[in-house]
Structure 1
Amino acid sequence: MNREIQSYSYVNDKNRLKKEELDEDWSNVIFEKNAYQSFLDYLCSLKEQKYKDFANKLIPLVNNMIGIRLPILQEIAKQVAKGDFEGFLSHGKTQYFEEVMIHGFVIGKLKNISIEVIQEFIRYHVPKLDNWSTCDSFCASLKIAKKYPKEMFDFILPYAYSNDCYEIRFFIVMCLNYYINEEYVSIVDEILQSINSDEYYVNMAICWAYTVMFQIDSNRVLQFLNSLKSQLETKQNNRNLFILQKTISKICDSRKITAEKKAIVRSYHV
């Protein structure tokens, strides 16, 4: 698992929320303008400064965080998804980090809605992703990809060729969550190798994806590492060096990979 996700999840797993702890029920609210502003005011009332300080260290460059724990956001999203989710999601101009998170979680929790409608909500939401946490949490919530793998893969594919860092990361993280399997591993590998970006959060996601891929097709990943190493032996390339080193590091950090295989992976260091 991504170290970013590990760190963020750890503190929240220790603070699971009981439903009755919420003092508002958003499942019966019609989200016209005033009601949505009341919702934002409610979010601000949930602020925990110490938690905000902690989370800001994990998610740098985010200056619109309130400071609300993840289980609370999940519970609010669960309530909204049962009610006027269309009215809620129509408020597209988001002010807060937690607001974007809840919008994403609501989309992930929708039931008995056509795949086409959900894809429209996703298309509307993806441009709001501007950090690794909102991106990765949104991807993890889109379990609909398990039910409609082909339709969702075709839908996310164009994001691989975006010029936006977090749109590309959205594609990669969706793949490592739902498409690194026997059916899709070949095409995912091909697309990952075609991505050419100097963005840190794109390349870290690529390293993470190859770590997951190693668990099901180690030979394929070793071929990828060998290709990077061979290229570096003929021409220095900072991006290739970064991906090679970080992928090796992530594989060796994994508890799911044997010591013998880790030793093989380390041999690709340059």
Structure 2
Amino acid sequence: MNRIELIERLSELAEPSYRSFQQKLQVSEGQVYGVRAKALQNLAKQIASTHGTLALKKLLSYDSLSYEETIILYKLFGQITLTEEERLSYLPNMLPYNHSWATNDCLASEMKWIRKNREFYYPYFSTLLNHKAPYDKRLGIVTLMLYYLESTTIEEVLKRLSHVESGHYYVMMALAWAFATAYCKDKEKTLPYMQPGRLAETVRRKTIQKCIESRLVSDEDKALLKVLRKKP
């Protein structure tokens, strides 16, 4: 399937009302066709089975992609069989297409193969936390949240995340998401970061809010967190 055929297929699957909905959610700064997630998943699966790595390389040859093409690219990256070294070599090439919270979180969630070799990929995603580009930072944060909040790595990850500096809304929200997730996994290791001064105040308060809204947090802990939230 060449690009013209892909765009024709996306146009056929597009729903104008869904496109308007996605634009309100700011899923992309570029072209949005309005194709639902299930249809994109099926299309990516079809492309992966018929064109494999060739399709991946072809999409990476373009300077810019539509939102749906980017989602397909990231899904292909998650599905196609590659060596660990090949995946690591492809990762920097994925970053230029990551322009929104939606593309970012799709890429992070598709890389499930990280679980099989966390130690190998950890240095790369840790390095992203120091990048200037906000969505590079968010990719590092969300990936560490999804795959590294384990008993053996959670302390190191929380320490690294606490040093991330950014005033970008979607970076701060990713940090709050990560710390709230960590709290649900290991309250004792995460609670110290809820104290004033450990995180940017916006991140701290948003983290506490997310914990309070979570069904995984007990009423007793929510009461404690509400007290912490009031601390100057």
TM-score normalised by structure 2 residue count: 0.92
What is the DSSP-based 3-state SS (H/G/I as helix, E as strand, rest coil) of the residue aligned with 1:68?
A: coil
After superposition, residues 173-252 of structure 1 pair within 5 angstroms as 173-228=142-197, 240-252=200-212
After superposition, residues 95-244 of structure 1 pair within 5 angstroms as 95-111=65-81, 113-228=82-197, 240-244=200-204
What is the DSSP-based 3-state SS (H/G/I as helix, E as strand, rest coil) of the residue aligned with 2:215?
A: coil
Q: Aligned residues: percent identity?
A: 24
Once residues 154 and 202 of structure 1 are traced to their aligned partners in structure 2, the CA distance between those partners, rounded to angstroms, is 19
* 1:267 is aligned to 2:219: no
What is the DSSP-based 3-state SS (H/G/I as helix, E as strand, rest coil) of the residue aligned with 1:215?
A: helix
| 8 Å contact kept, 2:108–2:139 | yes
| 8 Å contact kept, 2:28–2:67 | no
Post-superposition Cα deviations, 1:62-83, rounded to whole Å, max 9, x if no partner, equal 3411100001111111122223
Once residues 67 and 223 of structure 1 are traced to their aligned partners in structure 2, the CA distance between those partners, rounded to angstroms, is 43
| 8 Å contact kept, 1:127–1:167 | no
Structure 2: unaligned runs, 5 residues or longer: none
Q: For residue 246 of structure 1, what is the amino acid of its counterpart?
A: K
Once residues 130 and 221 of structure 2 are traced to their aligned partners in structure 1, the CA distance between those partners, rounded to angstroms, is 33
Q: CA deviation at 1:120?
A: 2.1
Once residues 44 and 61 of structure 1 are traced to their aligned partners in structure 2, the CA distance between those partners, rounded to angstroms, is 17
Post-superposition Cα deviations, 1:96-146, rounded to whole Å, max 9, x if no partner, equal 1000000000000113x2111122222211221000000001111100111
* Bigger radius of gyration: 1
TM-score normalised by structure 1 residue count: 0.80
Once residues 110 and 148 of structure 1 are traced to their aligned partners in structure 2, the CA distance between those partners, rounded to angstroms, is 17
Once residues 193 and 122 of structure 2 are traced to their aligned partners in structure 1, the CA distance between those partners, rounded to angstroms, is 23
Partner of 1:76: 43
- The alignment yields a C-alpha RMSD, in angstroms, of 1.6
Q: Matched residue pairs, number? A: 227
Once residues 185 and 164 of structure 2 are traced to their aligned partners in structure 1, the CA distance between those partners, rounded to angstroms, is 22
Structure 1: unaligned runs, 5 residues or longer: 1-28, 30-34, 232-238
| 8 Å contact kept, 1:226–1:268 | yes
What is the DSSP-based 3-state SS (H/G/I as helix, E as strand, rest coil) of the residue aligned with 1:268?
A: helix
Q: CA deviation at 1:61?
A: 5.8
| 8 Å contact kept, 2:176–2:206 | yes
Q: CA deviation at 1:155?
A: 2.4
After superposition, residues 28-107 of structure 1 pair within 5 angstroms as 29=1, 35-59=2-26, 62-90=29-57, 91-92=59-60, 93=62, 94-107=64-77
Superposition misfits of 4+ residues, deviation over 3 angstroms? none
| 8 Å contact kept, 1:210–1:247 | yes
What is the DSSP-based 3-state SS (H/G/I as helix, E as strand, rest coil) of the residue aligned with 1:196?
A: coil
| 8 Å contact kept, 2:27–2:101 | no
Once residues 179 and 44 of structure 2 are traced to their aligned partners in structure 1, the CA distance between those partners, rounded to angstroms, is 32
Q: For residue 248 of structure 1, what is the amino acid of its counterpart?
A: I
